[in-house]
Chain A
Amino acid sequence: DAKTTQPPSMDCAEGRAANLPCNHSTISGNEYVYWYRQIHSQGPQYIIHGLKNNETNEMASLIITEDRKSSTLILPHATLRDTAVYYCIVRVERNAGNMLTFGGGTRLMVKP
């Protein structure tokens, strides 16, 4: 399984962009990069995923480097409600399932 490395914590000012990095240097060619977040005491929430190209949705943007060894999740205008643990996950297919392997994540604190 490709492992991911994320900084344990980050701070961001409210209204500013939050840029969360993730290293996945051993990623295989058919593995996707997923981002989930977990707001305190809640179940994880899907944010975005991508393979090679940059992706954007209503929640965030995902920038994947050309060599695919790292990526950055961008929350363009962070709010206090974005305070959460953000998980970068590389999906591995096993037994035709798609279980998620969560690492330690990055604890993002959005401050007023």
Chain B
Amino acid sequence: NAGVMQNPRHLVRRRGQEARLRCSPMKGHSHVYWYRQLPEEGLKFMVYLQKENIIDESGMPKERFSAEFPKEGPSILRIQQVVRGDSAAYFCASSPWDLSSYEQYFGPGTRLTVT
């Protein structure tokens, strides 16, 4: 059973470009979470999605950031017009539909560098 997959693992963008980060949850998992980790800091929750629904986006910046988890395909975290402050590691986690399982399984992360 493959774990959570994220791609690309490393992404370099110039200021003003768009960044698209992909996350494929574990098989059978229908809940996806995105977290951001700035250099030398802990992980911060960004958004929680189920298939075709955003459940909690309380951690998302108000502008330039969006997330989706379509019926088919991976979850996408999209950052428009990137700035240097967006440079960070972005982690995706998934959990099964049964919320009695409290574990979240994390992917290896995408390291975004904005030049």
Which B residues form the contact surface with A (CB < 8 A)? 4, 31, 33, 35, 42-45, 48, 55-56, 58-59, 91, 93, 95, 99, 102-109
Contact = CB atoms under 8 A, between A and B. Distances in A.
B102 A91 contact: yes
A98 B99 contact: yes
Nearest to A95: B56
Given A42-B109, A43-B106, A49-B102, A97 B42 contact: no
A43 B91 contact: yes
Contact of A43 (B4, B44, B45, B102): B4
A107 B25 CA distance: 28
B33 to A, nearest CB: 6
Interface SS of chain A: helix, strand, loop or mixed?
Answer: loop
Nearest to A105: B42
Contacts of A91: 102
A7 to B, nearest CB: 15
Contacts of A38: 43
Contacts, number: 60
Contacts of B55: 95-97
B42 A104 contact: yes
Contacts of A42: 108-109
Contact of B95 (A34, A49, A98, A103): A98
Contacts of A99: 33, 45, 48, 56, 59
A100 interface: yes
B107 A43 contact: yes
Contacts of B95: 98
Contacts of B109: 41-43
